[in-house]
Structure 1
Amino acid sequence: MSNDKKRFMDRFAWFMASHRVAVLVVVFIVFAVFLYGALKIRGEVILQDMLPYDHPYLKLHAKFSQVFGSGGSGGVIIVKVKNGDIFNKETLTKLQQITNEVEMWQEVYRILTVSIASRSIKKVTTLKKGEIKIEPLMWPDVPDTPARMEDLKASIFASPAYNGVLVSQDGTAALLFTEFKENISYERAFGLLREIAEKYSDANTSIHLVGYPVLMGWIYSFKHQIYQIFMVSMILMIITLFLIFRNRVGMFVPVATSLFFTVVGLGIMGFTGFNFSPLLYVLAFLVGAMMVSHSVQSTYRYLEELHASGNDSRQACYMTMRSMVIPAFAAVTTDAAGFLVLGLAKIALMKQLALVMSLWMTSIVLTSILTPIICSFMPMSEASDKWSAERGKLDRMDKMIVAITRFSIGRGKAVVFGVIVVILALSVWLSVGIKVGDPTPGSPLLWPNHKYNQDQELMNKAFNASSDNFMLFYEGKVGSVYDPTVLTTFEAFARHMKQELPDIYKSSSSVISIVKMVNATLHDGDQLWYQLPKNPELLYGLMGYVKSNTDMGTLSRFIDRMLQRAQMTIYFPDHTSDNLLRVRDAAYNFFKNRPMKLENGEFMLAGGRVGMEIALNDEMKERHLEMDSIVYGAILVLCIISFLSIVGGVMLTVPLIFANLVAVAYMAMNNIGLSINTLPVTAIGAGMGVDFAIYFYSRCRDEFVNEADWTKTILMGVRTTGKAVVYTGLTMFAALLPWYFMSGLKFQAQMGVFLAVVLGVNVLLTLTLHPLMLYFFKPKFITRGGTGVEAEVSKAEEHSLGLNGNGIDTGEKIQDAHERG
């Protein structure tokens, strides 16, 4: 550390230590201000905020959603009977009542609410003298005679547009599709749908709900459970801190500082208008846990300095700040860089998250100031006496830590290096298999046995329809929708997708379905004629008939009033990563042999929920490597600046990359995809390890006495800061345990295990790889920067580390002597 920097830190630390009361008054004022801001937090997330606004698919989506609805906020209500089929007056009346009720909601697009009880669902019948009639399938009344009921049943099962789509092929269930408006919160949409489910379920009827608003609604319903998990985690954290420090200071101070900075972070969210989704609660907890990590380091250092100063609290406060502010600043800025880089993604939520979380993380540097100040007002004589008594001997934790590090820098060097190389190779190999998006059917956010995933599976098995839809759009001159080329292209596209994707294609829906029904009816109902006429003139005539005999409310689901825009919807069972790629490739392969631009208009890809997911995955895939490269580059630069050493920056960054590869390998092994939900968690996980290493290197620099004492320096570093790192790891691990055993959210449980893995890897690297690199390279940034916590290490401490007076490792004999003593 340069003399100027030392002098500045000396003056700064002494000023803060001399005005501790004033600092605490300011802290209380800041706490009150940000507590007010925390009360203003909003918990709603709008769909558009979670999507890449600059992607061509999303621009297309925004354009056509004004005509045909968003296609991404669709909800599905499944009415299923337990005995018999739905073709009875009681069940169909129930379906009709549900349809009428949903159509009256102000929160949905009425024209996009569809079931067999909707006015827009038509059937085509023949009259006398070869005439045909287009009329509602089951509107306004439910069939009241057995003959009419059989006629309805025959009409449904004879039409590919309804059989297996609006009614299951076994006749035991029926669907209602609806589309919520873009400005409606998911909690509101879910509440309305749940009311329907509760109102119309009975002994023989079950109501099942599917769709993105339903999924998000279920996630919002876990808010109170998440609060309970956080409380249990906090209690376990407090218990662990007490067991570690065995005094009130070690237990109280980290929790108090964590509480303060948590309120600061939540206040930032409230003042900036950030929407705090339950899926992001995990981030708030993680940041809180990292606050505890930084505070534990400062608390541990304070106890050392208090003993060294003869129980002079102001001196201990001054020395702790003097030693910890710079490494804390270096550690926190690297964490903030991990969040700030999220802003590269062209997703509104990510940009907001990058700003809010980076500001929050930056504020945590103040733990190195607030922690020793709070400690200085605590009764510490008992803790100091205990520290003095235990300072010169090894407890079980010390023995384990020192043994691991001694092995890593001694006779086990080759073993440690070999294990790291093997793990690195395995991690690289596994990381190649990481999926972008959702790797499994259903929602990976919920457990497979959750009701939502069970309902999704029911829908996929019983129906040729789904909430995961893919849309092909057309736009051209006024009236060009009726161009036979447009209609035949729609039909050919659906046929191509069915042939290319026979295992996942379910059905399609467009205006040509009505034209096909008319064509089949003209041929005595023969389903062989359920197709578009090959003759352009016949096709044009059929379209004219459909136009003149079908109300615009029916057609508006497929074409606009000016007849210049149209859309086709194709249903797929899920939006898993692999299937999204197959759908996209198949769609573009179709247009390799056909022009997307016609004389009077143009076809455009792609919309619907599937189109949105493809766009999101494209953005994640494109930005992921870019983000990683920039964040590691930023960490490298920040570490170089902090230690004024290129070697130091490289030594800190390389193990971080190694730990991140292990984490990505874990995700790949457990089918955890890289998504908008997991990316922020991996960002904060990446910064976790560099915090530990920065504190360790800073302590080694402080402990260094002369260039011959590398073993002494390293072992003292691991016994002090390294021990604090292990304590931090144990505390955070205890806090993560409830996530797996208590959470109804699979995502939260998986992220808990993921972070435990990242945490464990980084703790081990702090005790093995980092000491090995210091011992092997003996970097100059360690030898030139020591602040000297104490003038020299006491003889008792040397013996406790297994060292003789010259700093030479005497091995297990000294340890054995201590144990016998």
Structure 2
Amino acid sequence: MPGTQHGEGFPALNRLADLLGRWLIARRTILLLVFAGLTLALGYFATQVTFDAGFEKSIPGGHDYMKVYRQYAPIFGGANSVTVVLHRKTGDIFEPEFMRALERLTRTVYSIPGVDQGSIGSLFAPTAIFVTVNEEGFTGGRIVPATFKPRPDDIATVRQNLLKSGEIGRLVSTDLHGALVRFELVEVNPITHQRVDYLEIGKRLEALRTEFQNDDLDVQIIGFAKFITDVIDGARVVFLFFGVAFIITAILLYFFCGSAVITIIALLVALDAVVWQLGIIHLAGYGIDPLSILVPFLIFSIGVSHAVQMTNAWRLAMVGGATPAVAALEAFRRLFIPGTTALLANAVGFAVIMLIDIPIIHELGISASIGVAVMIITNKFLLPALLSFLRMSPAQLRKSRVRAERWDNHSIWKVVSACADRRRAIPILLIGFIILGLGVLARNQLIVGDAGAGAPELRPTARYNLDIASIVANFNVGIDEFTVIAELTGDCNNFDSMYALDRYAVALESLPSVKSVDSLARQVRVRNIGNSEGNPRFNEIPRDPSAIGGAMRNMELNQKYFNRECTAIPVRVFTVDHRASTLAEIIEATKRFEKENQGMPVKLRLAAGNAGVMAATNEAVEAARDRMLLTLYVAVTVLCFVTFLSWRITACIVIPLIFVSQFAEAVMAWLGIGLKVSTLPVVALGAGVGVDYGIYLFARTQAAMAQGLALRDAFLRGLQQAGTAVVFTALTMTVGVATWVFSPLKLQADMGLLLAYMFFLNMLGAILILPALASWLVRPSATPALPK
């Protein structure tokens, strides 16, 4: 049997690989039937997998901010809101047709499933009121009277009421050319306990645009429900680019192996892992979140990488004169231990992201780990079983022998193997450590959260982001609301409490990232002017508790300025965007204000609102970021040590991984990509793929050293046996994902760039930095001799 020295340093593991390989070949027919049955069954369940979007899944439930959010959301409103704007292209809103359209839109919103009807804000909602003062005292009512008809005199009344209401910039645009309808969604029906269907809501929202948009009216829609359905729409194009990457992979794989049958088998086995993954996650009760749509392709990429190694090892054994079954056994024995170690490292890479306490990340980690785990079965058992039945004609063998001679014994490997020479290793290691230093410095610039305005998952020119820009420009409230709950130790008509909240609002409004601040204290100031015959000198908090109480007269609970006991008051901060720096600035200003006013009778509790949820998510990711990487490094180190029984070899494999993973965060910072839920899988994958390349190369290098070869010669042998497959896989995957930069979904374009970097640089780390480290660390004693 050719190449019988297949072990890699741990006799017990080698014996296990030998026993499993013989068992596999002896029962390959039965196993293939079992695999076929499993594929059909899981394939059926895979077809039932659906998109499973959810706002609540993105909330870090254990975070202190979210405890405040859940406590007060039933009283002051949640963060899962939708805003629909009708904006006239010419003219103002005080026109019969516009009023009819706004009234009809408001009524239509009431019929959308999942809408919290008490949360609807509109000129035609009962919560839209005005208060004014005349010689008899306070007077007021609904901005749009219940008896309203779109007649000139009624419209004139609405104009007068609106000017008295303070709703310009809130319900009506500052230029009076548009008005909005805002409402919140209840994700789980409290009666039926069914979750809201975001796809259905997205269709209903888009139907609103179709119904109301015309030559005079423009319709703008924003909110999580619209955002996530736009991502799902973009995902259809994602599949097209996946197809392009698949075709590129197939063409290059055929060019590499020279056999259509081997190409098809390798691709089908890689796809089989994805089918199994999707089927299992459906049986486990999960779906695919639109923000983790790239995970199945990552699983496919890993599958192709391992399939290329297995088919290449089988091909080399066939060229050496082995029968198909013996070649399959030899390939299994050579690759089972290093391949399984690499896949376990991949699984760890995905699993460690579950250290972040966010349900959607837990689901993502579970889904990806399942995909990698089933690959141990599909790649290490199914693929060799299939190859054992595959025969090569004499012409194909001659062709493969020529390819092996041309590629596997290419002179380039002699040049690359020089990296294992100590003298030549020095400049390589210097460059490597410079890259590491740059990565460590630049990773501090990596933004945890959104690095830009709008929705970074979509292109800046996407309709959703254009709608955001228009609403931010025309309304004072913005689209991002960061809510701070002020808990009072005394009565809410206490001057000290109201004055403290007023000064807090002033402090926040001085921040460049804040558009406006609204709270009960602000309403008291405005109403105090009204109580003083409109004299602007009384634009302040009155000291008399009865005057404060008078200013609060006729304020309704449904206006959500205070709770029933008036012990909690929301301070709503409307920001210009939800960049991580914006949210951090507000949090820092809040903490600074509390520190400077420790004696005030108010406790400021962070945070609610959609921006508060984002801030909590950012902090949860930031808190687990370093712990996640450290756990990954430790786990991979343990796996490599168990496989190779040498801390020196382990260091040679893990250090390049650290170089690339640290520098990956620097690349993200330079590209303006924030570290968030949608980008975490790619960061985790980058670490795993780097381990794949290093483990496969050093497994063959160690086996050659155990036969008595010097390090440089042994590494040359490893390159000849596994290097071609490593380089081919990296280049193929790099080219495939590089096409994603043309995707209309910016998330896919960004991840394509990042993946291309990781695939390519991990390969360079394995063939350049690994041998350079080995030249200084690895000694013959570090590679235990094989048992006789």
Smaller-chain TM-score bracket: over 0.9
Q: 1:188 Cα shift?
A: 3.1
Q: Partners of 1:265 and 1:93 in 2: how far apart?
A: 51
Question: Kindly tell me: are residues 698 and 474 of structure 1, through their superposed partners in 2, closer, same or farther at Cα, counting changes over 3 Å?
Answer: same
Q: Partners of 1:781 and 1:752 in 2: how far apart?
A: 42
Equivalent residue, structure 1, for 2:750: 750
User: After the TM superposition, which residues 717-756 of structure 1 pair with which residues of structure 2 at under 5 Å, given as runs?
Assistant: 717-741=718-742, 743-756=743-756
Q: Partners of 1:144 and 1:288 in 2: how far apart?
A: 59
* CA deviation vs aligned residue, 1:381-420 (integer Å, no higher than 9, x gap): 243222223434458x934444334367487434323322
Equivalent residue, structure 2, for 1:679: 680
Q: 1:552 Cα shift?
A: 4.8
Q: Partners of 1:281 and 1:354 in 2: how far apart?
A: 13
Equivalent residue, structure 1, for 2:94: 87
What TM-score comes out, normalization by structure 2 length?
0.92
C-alpha contact (below 8 Å) 2:86/2:219 kept by paired residues: yes
Q: 1:276 Cα shift?
A: 0.9
The 3-state SS of whatever aligns with 1:379 is coil
Match of residue 265, structure 2, among 253, 258, 266: 253
Match of residue 383, structure 1, among 387, 396, 399: 396
Q: 1:724 Cα shift?
A: 0.5
Equivalent residue, structure 2, for 1:591: 594
C-alpha contact (below 8 Å) 2:122/2:128 kept by paired residues: yes
Q: Partners of 1:296 and 1:251 in 2: how far apart?
A: 9
Q: Partners of 2:122 and 2:88 in 1: how far apart?
A: 16
Q: Partners of 2:102 and 2:522 in 1: how far apart?
A: 23
* CA deviation vs aligned residue, 1:171-223 (integer Å, no higher than 9, x gap): 22222221111333432332222222111111011000122222112112223
Equivalent residue, structure 1, for 2:505: 494
Q: 1:513 Cα shift?
A: 5.4
Q: 1:329 Cα shift?
A: 1.2
Equivalent residue, structure 1, for 2:238: 226
Q: Partners of 2:150 and 2:104 in 1: how far apart?
A: 16
Equivalent residue, structure 1, for 2:29: 21
Q: Partners of 2:517 and 2:10 in 1: how far apart?
A: 71
Match of residue 105, structure 1, among 106, 112, 122: 112
**Paired residue type of 1:10:** D
* CA deviation vs aligned residue, 1:114-151 (integer Å, no higher than 9, x gap): 12232211112345x42331211123355755565455
Question: Kindly tell me: are residues 563 and 213 of structure 1, through their superposed partners in 2, closer, same or farther at Cα, counting changes over 3 Å?
Answer: same
Question: Kindly tell me: are residues 96 and 392 of structure 1, through their superposed partners in 2, closer, same or farther at Cα, counting changes over 3 Å?
Answer: closer
Q: 1:423 Cα shift?
A: 2.3
**Paired residue type of 2:366:** L
Equivalent residue, structure 2, for 1:802: none
**Paired residue type of 1:628:** L
The 3-state SS of whatever aligns with 2:83 is strand
Question: Kindly tell me: are residues 158 and 176 of structure 1, through their superposed partners in 2, closer, same or farther at Cα, counting changes over 3 Å?
Answer: same
User: Aligned Cα RMSD in Å?
Assistant: 2.5
Question: Kindly tell me: are residues 110 and 399 of structure 1, through their superposed partners in 2, closer, same or farther at Cα, counting changes over 3 Å?
Answer: same
* CA deviation vs aligned residue, 1:522-561 (integer Å, no higher than 9, x gap): 3344455454423222112332x325xxx554x3x33344
Question: Kindly tell me: are residues 484 and 99 of structure 1, through their superposed partners in 2, closer, same or farther at Cα, counting changes over 3 Å?
Answer: farther
Match of residue 64, structure 1, among 57, 61, 72: 72
Equivalent residue, structure 2, for 1:7: 15
**Paired residue type of 1:218:** D
* CA deviation vs aligned residue, 1:620-646 (integer Å, no higher than 9, x gap): 111000010011011011100110111
C-alpha contact (below 8 Å) 1:438/1:577 kept by paired residues: yes
Equivalent residue, structure 2, for 1:453: 465
The 3-state SS of whatever aligns with 1:206 is strand
* CA deviation vs aligned residue, 1:300-328 (integer Å, no higher than 9, x gap): 000011122x2411111111111111111
**Paired residue type of 1:577:** A
Q: 1:610 Cα shift?
A: 1.7
Equivalent residue, structure 2, for 1:794: none
Question: Kindly tell me: are residues 765 and 51 of structure 1, through their superposed partners in 2, closer, same or farther at Cα, counting changes over 3 Å?
Answer: same
User: After the TM superposition, which residues 16-165 of structure 1 pair with which residues of structure 2 at under 5 Å, given as runs?
Assistant: 16-70=24-78, 72-127=79-134, 129-142=135-148, 144=150, 146=152, 149-150=155-156, 152-157=158-163, 161-165=166-170
User: After the TM superposition, which residues 333-348 of structure 1 pair with which residues of structure 2 at under 5 Å, given as runs?
Assistant: 333-348=344-359
Q: How many residues in Structure 1 have an aligned counterpart in Structure 2?
A: 771
C-alpha contact (below 8 Å) 2:480/2:611 kept by paired residues: yes
Question: Kindly tell me: are residues 110 and 391 of structure 1, through their superposed partners in 2, closer, same or farther at Cα, counting changes over 3 Å?
Answer: closer
Compare 15-24 and 732-741 and name the one that shifted more. 732-741
Q: Partners of 2:674 and 2:454 in 1: how far apart?
A: 13
Question: Identity of aligned pairs, percent?
Answer: 25
What TM-score comes out, normalization by structure 1 length?
0.89
Q: Partners of 1:482 and 1:105 in 2: how far apart?
A: 39
C-alpha contact (below 8 Å) 1:122/1:134 kept by paired residues: yes
Q: Partners of 2:131 and 2:450 in 1: how far apart?
A: 41
Equivalent residue, structure 2, for 1:281: 293
Q: Partners of 1:431 and 1:182 in 2: how far apart?
A: 36
Q: Partners of 1:98 and 1:527 in 2: how far apart?
A: 37
Q: 1:649 Cα shift?
A: 1.4
Q: Does 1:576 align with 2:579?
A: yes
Equivalent residue, structure 1, for 2:6: none
The 3-state SS of whatever aligns with 1:586 is helix
Question: Kindly tell me: are residues 2 and 64 of structure 1, through their superposed partners in 2, closer, same or farther at Cα, counting changes over 3 Å?
Answer: closer
Q: Does 1:540 align with 2:552?
A: no
User: After the TM superposition, which residues 317-336 of structure 1 pair with which residues of structure 2 at under 5 Å, given as runs?
Assistant: 317-336=328-347
Compare 314-323 and 289-298 and name the one that shifted more. 314-323
Question: Kindly tell me: are residues 26 and 86 of structure 1, through their superposed partners in 2, closer, same or farther at Cα, counting changes over 3 Å?
Answer: same
Compare 332-341 and 288-297 and name the one that shifted more. 332-341
The 3-state SS of whatever aligns with 2:294 is helix
User: After the TM superposition, which residues 480-491 of structure 1 pair with which residues of structure 2 at under 5 Å, given as runs?
Assistant: 480-491=491-502
User: After the TM superposition, which residues 416-815 of structure 1 pair with which residues of structure 2 at under 5 Å, given as runs?
Assistant: 416-475=428-487, 480-499=491-510, 501=511, 503-512=512-521, 515-543=524-552, 545-547=553-555, 552-553=557-558, 555=559, 557-594=560-597, 598=601, 603-704=604-705, 706-707=707-708, 709-741=710-742, 743-780=743-780, 783-785=783-785
C-alpha contact (below 8 Å) 1:707/1:783 kept by paired residues: no
Q: 1:514 Cα shift?
A: 5.1
Equivalent residue, structure 2, for 1:202: 214
**Which fold has the larger relative contact order, with Cα–Cα distance below 8 Å and residues 6 or more apart in sequence?**
2
C-alpha contact (below 8 Å) 1:169/1:462 kept by paired residues: yes
C-alpha contact (below 8 Å) 1:704/1:786 kept by paired residues: no
* CA deviation vs aligned residue, 1:61-96 (integer Å, no higher than 9, x gap): 1111122221x1111112111112222121122112
**Paired residue type of 2:587:** R
The 3-state SS of whatever aligns with 2:126 is coil
**Paired residue type of 1:592:** K
Question: Kindly tell me: are residues 486 and 117 of structure 1, through their superposed partners in 2, closer, same or farther at Cα, counting changes over 3 Å?
Answer: farther
Equivalent residue, structure 1, for 2:182: 177
